[in-house]
Amino acid sequence: MALAVAAIVGVVIAMSGGDGESAAEGKQSGAPGGAAEPQVPTAAAGKSFTKVPEGCRLIKASTIARIAPGTECKPSQFDNATMAAMITRMPSWDMPFGSGGGSLSLDVNLTVSPSASGMFDVHKKSALEALKKVRTITDSRSLGGLGEDAYVVHGVDKDPFDLAEAQVIVREGNAEFTVSLTYDTKDSGRNQQQAEDAVVAAARDVLGSLS
């Protein structure tokens, strides 16, 4: 009888704890029930920016002259908002009133904060869904070679409107931003590819301006 009990105990130990050391190597201590804790990505894993130029200096003048000629930059009231854990810049480049150049607007919405990853997801979803009742999405895809995460969306307003928008959402470390170009499909002389190339070029300038 004692031999049988010993044999049963040996089986139990072999199944549940005989190689406990090797099993523990694949688990993180402190997790409930020994389960591995989920790995949550943080901004610390990438670049950590602490300096941001004034809003109107995020994009080079030469780039503006090429992708949005004739526009003038207007800083946002939030451009100088610098808090302990967040820096924001929201400048816009627009055609002067009465210029007759058609509707054209370039906007940047930049935030440097620990919540950059979550904001990327929010802005991506907004670009795809916020105006779906009045706008047709004609392109949406991930981009490589631009920050850690980048996604471009292009949409065209439904009749009777004539506006279209190209937007790129970018995250790099603790920085997240969008660059949007809104243009008139009839008067601007632009097409979808040109608009997407424009916001990507502007986004590269924004990334290059951070330190």
pLDDT by residue, tens only, the chain of 211 residues:
433 434 433 433 343 344 433 333 333 434 444 444 444 444 345 789 999 999 999 999 999 999 999 999 999 988 876 666 899 999 999 998 776 656 899 999 999 999 999 999 999 999 999 999 999 999 999 999 999 999 999 999 999 999 999 999 999 999 999 999 999 998 778 999 999 999 999 999 999 999 9
pLDDT at residue 36 in the model: 46
pLDDT at residue 164 in the model: 97
pLDDT at residue 81 in the model: 66
pLDDT at residue 187 in the model: 77
Q: Give residue 162's region: left, alpha or beta (phi > 0; psi -120 to 50).
A: alpha
pLDDT at residue 80 in the model: 72
The answer to pTM > 0.95 is no
pLDDT at residue 87 in the model: 94
Amino acid code (one letter) for 10: G
pLDDT at residue 16 in the model: 39
Buried b / exposed e over 63-89, threshold 16 CB at 10 Å, is bbeebbeebebeebeebeeeeeeebbb
Task: Give the angle subtended at the CA of 154 by the CAs of 150 and 159, to the nearest 5°.
Answer: 160
pLDDT at residue 114 in the model: 93
Tell me which residue of 105, 109, 79, 102 sits closest to 94, measured CA to CA.
105
pLDDT at residue 186 in the model: 86
